[in-house]
Amino acid sequence: MQPVPKTRQKEMVKIEEPAEDAWILRLYVAGQTRNSLIAFDNLKKICEDYLLTKYTIEVIDLQKNPQLAKDHQIIAVPTLIRKLPTPVKKIIGNLSNTEKVLVGLDLLRVK
C-alpha cells in the first residue's frame, strides 16, 4: 500500500505595508443588523492588527442613503470596498473569515 500524499498546504506570506500612507475602507451596511455589526467588529480588529493607525473606516448605511447602493454598485450587504490603496477591492459578507479578508485586501498572499 502506498502512502497517502500530503495535501498541499497554503503558505501565507505577510505583504509589507502599502506604498500609500493611509488606507480608505468603506463598509456598506443596511442598518444595525447582526451581520453589519459583526462585519464592523471584524474589520476594526483586522485594521488594528494589520494596518495599525494607517486607515480610515467609513460606514455607509444604505437604509439612510439607498441611492448609494446603485451609485456604488453594491448588490449585497455588508460589503467592504477598499478605495485606497488602488486597485479598488470589494469583499461581500461579515468578514468573519480573516484569512480570506486579508488575501482579498492584499495583506496576505497565498503561495
| pLDDT tens per residue across span 39-50 | 999 999 999 999
Is 58 inside any structural domain? Answer: yes
Residue 1 covered by a domain: no
The domain in which residue 41 lies consists of: 12-110
Does residue 7 fall inside a structural domain?
no
Residue 85 belongs to a domain with what CATH number?
3.40.30.10
pTM: 0.80
Contact residues for 30 (Cβ-Cβ < 8 A; gap 6+):
36, 61, 62, 63, 77, 78
Convert the pLDDT of each residue in 48-79 to its tens digit.
Answer: 999 988 999 999 999 999 999 999 999 999 99
Residue 4 within any structural domain of the chain: no
Q: Is residue 35 part of a domain?
A: yes
Q: How far apart are CA 53 and CA 51, in angstroms?
A: 6
Q: Say if 29 falls within a structural domain.
A: yes
Number of independent structural domains in the chain: 1
